[in-house]
Structure 1
Amino acid sequence: MKNTSTARAGHPAPRASTLSGWQAWLPRLVLAPSVAISLFFVYGFMLWTFILSLTSSRMLPSYDFVGFGQYARLMQNERWWVASTNLMIFGSLFVVICLVIGVLLAMLLDQKIRQEGALRTIYLYPMALSFIVTGVVWKWLLNPSLGIQAMVRSWGFESFRFDWLVDSDMVIYTLVIAAVWQASGFVMALFLAGLRGIDDSIIKAAQLDGASLPRVYWRVVMPCLRPVVFSAVMILAHIAIKSFDLVVALTGGGPGYASDLPATFMYAHAFNRAQIGLGSASAMLMLGGVLAILIPYLYSELRSRRHG
């Protein structure tokens, strides 16, 4: 009887062990297809693109390896340098102006003004639109014969000019205007969340010491928001490097190729002209630009968690 009761008492143990094993493996089994698909369709194609950038591929992929010859061709391509210069202009102005406007709007809303919810929604609304919609709308507004210039001239100011959309020297700044209009509300939301997370006692203590409100924000609040600033810069720079749809919708890369960015160069100049190897090389340089932004961000996050 003792042996029987002991066996019965110990009988559920293997079943419980099996159940716990299934519970441990179930999340892995559920995630396995998604991980496999991501590895193949993201990282696998990234590796394939790098391999193609080392070949002489034109209309179709070929595996006649030429080393870094495509990268050398890219460095000698005038249109690539125009696109790279435009990216420097567009990216720097886009990031700086979005930060300034976003910080100012966040400080304004942080004063607990009336109708804060409505204003926050208005500022955030452009971010809900796609860059295609933004590009089309601003293409109408900046069209010299239909938009702002035509409207102002209809008021009697015949000498007014705002034809940046057709001016090869100024067209890159139309991309800045449209992109800032769309993304500055998002930056405002980031900074507003950061401001609401700061202890009010710090601000009140600075005001009791006689510091003015602008000085409080500049000397006390902004240093506390360094992680938000860093995150905003990383996100905006990432958007700038990958900008494609806004250029296609607003300027089409023109006049000529005066408003080309690396993404539009890769698509319009390389792939549409049967230069797969050259296009792959430009894609890898764009990936390098994105990694140059993401790696410091990830390193900073891991470092802060380790020391936190």
Structure 2
Amino acid sequence: MSHAATENRPALLDRLREALPKIVLSPTVAIVAIFVYGFIAFTVYLSFTNSRILPTFDLVGWKNYENLFKIRAWDIAVSNLLVFGILYIVICCALGLLLAILLDQRIRAEGFIRTIYLYPMALSFIVTGIAWKWFLDPGIGLEAVVQGWGFENFKFGWIKDRDMAIYTIVIAAVWQTSGFVMAMFLAGLRGIDSEMMKAAQIDGASTFALYRRIVIPQLRPAFMSAFVVLAHMAIKSYDLVIALTGGGPGTATEVPATFMYSYTFTRNQMGIGAASAVIMLMTIAAIIVPYLWSELREKKQ
């Protein structure tokens, strides 16, 4: 082997080491580019076409968006999302914070209790929806059991009530997600400087003032993360609604995700379904992009 070949060998090995991660990741990057961002772009394009049961390429401009906001079912879906999203985020954050504060007291069997709270998050929303559908069904669930105990006047038929059905979605979603929010807040609580809290206690601060003035303000990053995650999950809620109520009674629990599926695949209005999907994407982006921008700015500072 020549001297020049011997010198070039380490350089070749170095280039291979540098290229190996790119070679390994390139199939994943290509798949994500095609099947995620490619289909997002295709959906945006379909929202400007006259697509019905199958995609077409006849552009109609903003007609699908104009028709979308004239459909009463879309107004109902957006209203339901606002009710569900606000209650879901507020209750999850409040309950998660309360549970985190209780666990932060170094109670006995903390690990076991934390696991119980987190367990629902390991279930899919389909499983959660079916389980709560059985539990809330007046014929076989909570109402039937309590009446079987002798309380015949007990009524809990929210799942069959058009005015109350949306709140059953909130109950099931909060049950599944509050433990995850608790874990986020608990991590934030464990990161607070204990010396600062001890100094405040020495100065005579009450427990309420301690949490209001010191603890909760320092949980801002956890609150922001929880808000982004919960808002994203609320906007794209589909499987939980379908499994629990199927969007009913009537359209009482219709949300944008079920509206999009219905108009795209059962009503053969693919253009309008694509327009609703783009609106959902823009809403999620309006929440996530400012959050990511603020996080990157803080890291740079």
TM range (shorter): over 0.9
What RMSD, in angstroms, separates the aligned Cα atoms of the two structures? Answer: 1.4
**Equivalent residue, structure 2, for 1:222:** 216
**Equivalent residue, structure 2, for 1:50:** 44
Q: 1:169 aligns with which of 135, 153, 163?
A: 163
CA deviation string 1:27-48 (max 9, x = no partner): 1111111111110111111011
Counterpart amino acid of residue 12 in structure 1: T
Q: 2:94 aligns with which of 90, 96, 100?
A: 100
Higher mean C-alpha deviation, range 7-16 or range 173-182: 7-16
Distance 1:74 1:8 in 2: 73
Distance 1:217 1:9 in 2: 71
Distance 2:64 2:42 in 1: 15
Distance 2:69 2:265 in 1: 17
Distance 2:75 2:22 in 1: 46
- Percent identity reads 56
Counterpart amino acid of residue 39 in structure 1: A
Q: 1:64 aligns with which of 58, 67, 70?
A: 58
Structure with the greater alpha carbon radius of gyration: 1
Q: 1:186 aligns with which of 163, 180, 185?
A: 180
Distance 2:144 2:158 in 1: 13
**Equivalent residue, structure 1, for 2:16:** 22
**Equivalent residue, structure 1, for 2:205:** 211
SS in 2 for 1:114: coil
TM (norm. structure 2) is 0.97
**Equivalent residue, structure 2, for 1:37:** 31
CA displacement at 1:8 relative to structure 2: 7.4
Q: 2:130 aligns with which of 136, 139, 143?
A: 136
Distance 2:51 2:96 in 1: 45
Structure 2: 5+ residue runs without aligned partners? none
Alignment size in residue pairs: 301
Distance 2:213 2:104 in 1: 17
CA displacement at 1:270 relative to structure 2: 3.2
1:200 is the counterpart of 2:194:
yes
SS in 1 for 2:53: coil
Distance 2:80 2:299 in 1: 37
Distance 1:301 1:271 in 2: 38
